[in-house]
Structure 1
């Protein structure tokens, strides 16, 4: 097992992507120190404690993104830190407090702690494709995006894309701090994440699939681009296990999926399903060419087809009685 004898930390351990990262790490033999807001909240922790290997090699720690030093006990003695803890919500009444402050201050809090822990050799940051697809000037339909493209905070702000802004500012702050403090930082930039859930409650991206099942098209768009949560988790673990891994890794499905194609897959479960009509222009920028996951393939990851991810999402939702 790759991780035998190695200790790593996962922040925001009860989240959608983080739960899968914890699962994979335990399966590979790592000892995992995961942070959660409240270790006594069984609804948030039972699914982690039930994972294979958790009894022997999983410890839960209380931590708060805005509380300076609150990650110290969890990070102490770790050789790598996966920082996934960050708010995910496309709409916020108070974007500064609900999104930006939590994302940026939380990231800096974790990185500052890492500078004080000599055992930490690499930090893997869960960012988002949101930090890529709002550059200045805007992307055109024939533009190819890769890891060298960065969203411009002013574009996010002008378009009131507060979640995109929070992720862009947090990643930018992390890269600058890592460079100044000689931290080996690797950044994962996933697209829209779907796939089976381990946690017992819906999260935003899987909720969008529930909306489809209910005939709603959340973003009112015709084309969609998904990436499987299991692939995203594996990308995180592979960047730890690949010494040469560096910089950013975009991970997103190789092709767009139309609403009709989604409908077709979901009709296997719901024969009468009709998803609401879409407008020509969706609210999410998808004006980029498909070959955007070349770098992540160098880690040896084969991306899961969207149809498989959608089916497995529905099966896990049914299993957890969330439909």
Structure 2
């Protein structure tokens, strides 16, 4: 499944999806990319990618609109379902604003893929579907693809992003079992690396907060980090190899918030940084393993390289500059819910 075959990438203008589109185009694929608005400046960068003029087709599509997704997927041999809603700070109706788009949207993509006789669907899930208070998982045991976050614990904590990821990944794998559609999932950790799109995404805001500092507390949990370019490689790998199955954790580097701060302070002195007093101590559960992906031939950049490339990009893009009168830097609320 390589070469000039057509594949669909949902949410093509997003952080991970943009790098995936770039990789697919460089490998000779024809890409059908779904976007919310064909005229949005936030997706203009896709048209500048190598081979985009010849091999990229953008489709206006809404995950909640089956017909628009079916139109984008028609004629494709594979689908990469990357699009996912990120919750605003104050959800007024979590079921409507977060869970419906994630679950119904995934169902629409899978049904459209089945109807189009797609060969394989790769669904992007998250580490948050693996690591949060898993039931019946021995303390200290490395967390692998058999480990699932506790959905009800997340729901009771009003952690709606993890709930959406857990439910949609479970539904995608079950759909594959029931229908015979070849469905695999990839669970990235906290994604760092340079951006292709013009807007700052949530995981970039996470790292910017460490560098610029602010008043918000940060939990000293064990953060699992992966480079965005390595995520794109992993997604293409599980699409192209003959016999992938089930889930694939994509989170090779584990580092505590305090250790991440120490690393940044040693490499980039001169920034205001988050205060160590704002990093709240907590227990560190066992890390996750990405061995399943590595056995398929996946490799990843060292963490220090990813951090260096990310910070260099932030510097060049002006993301670390202080603007007079600007609001203080805030820690993305999403990450205090996972």
Q: TM-score, normalised by structure 2?
A: 0.87
In structure 2, the partner of 1:74 is: 72
> Deviation string for 1:171-197 (max 9, x for gaps)?
111112221111100100111111111
> How far has the Cα of 1:91 moved from its partner?
4.4
In structure 2, the partner of 1:210 is: 208
Indicate conservation of the 8 Å contact 1:7/1:77, yes or no. Answer: yes
> Deviation string for 1:122-166 (max 9, x for gaps)?
000000111112355375651221111122321211222111101
> Deviation string for 1:205-245 (max 9, x for gaps)?
11101111112476332543211111111100011110111
The alpha-carbon distance between structure 1 residues 142 and 30, as it changes in their structure 2 partners (threshold 3 A), is same
In structure 2, the partner of 1:142 is: 140
In structure 2, the partner of 1:314 is: 311
- Report the Cα distance in structure 1 between the residues aligned to 2:190 and 2:257, rounded to whole angstroms: 14
> How far has the Cα of 1:79 moved from its partner?
0.4
More displaced stretch, 87-96 vs 98-107: 87-96
More displaced stretch, 239-248 vs 261-270: 261-270
Indicate conservation of the 8 Å contact 1:91/1:162, yes or no. Answer: no
RMSD, matched Cα: 2.0
> Deviation string for 1:12-71 (max 9, x for gaps)?
0001110010011011111101000001112x2211111111111111000001112211
More displaced stretch, 107-116 vs 143-152: 143-152
The alpha-carbon distance between structure 1 residues 95 and 140, as it changes in their structure 2 partners (threshold 3 A), is farther
> How far has the Cα of 1:322 moved from its partner?
2.5
In structure 2, the partner of 1:103 is: 102
> How far has the Cα of 1:270 moved from its partner?
4.1
**1:73-222 map, 5 Å:** 73-89=71-87, 91-93=89-91, 94-118=93-117, 120-134=118-132, 136-137=134-135, 141-216=139-214, 219-221=218-220
Unaligned residue ranges in structure 1 (runs of 5+)? none
The alpha-carbon distance between structure 1 residues 300 and 281, as it changes in their structure 2 partners (threshold 3 A), is same
The alpha-carbon distance between structure 1 residues 153 and 264, as it changes in their structure 2 partners (threshold 3 A), is closer
Indicate conservation of the 8 Å contact 1:11/1:36, yes or no. Answer: yes
More displaced stretch, 28-37 vs 258-267: 258-267
**1:284-323 map, 5 Å:** 286-290=284-288, 292-323=289-320
More displaced stretch, 158-167 vs 31-40: 158-167
1:281 pairs with 2:282: yes
Indicate conservation of the 8 Å contact 1:136/1:155, yes or no. Answer: no
- Report the Cα distance in structure 1 between the residues aligned to 2:224 and 2:133, rounded to whole angstroms: 19
- Report the Cα distance in structure 2 between the residues aligned to 1:303 and 1:13, rounded to whole angstroms: 23
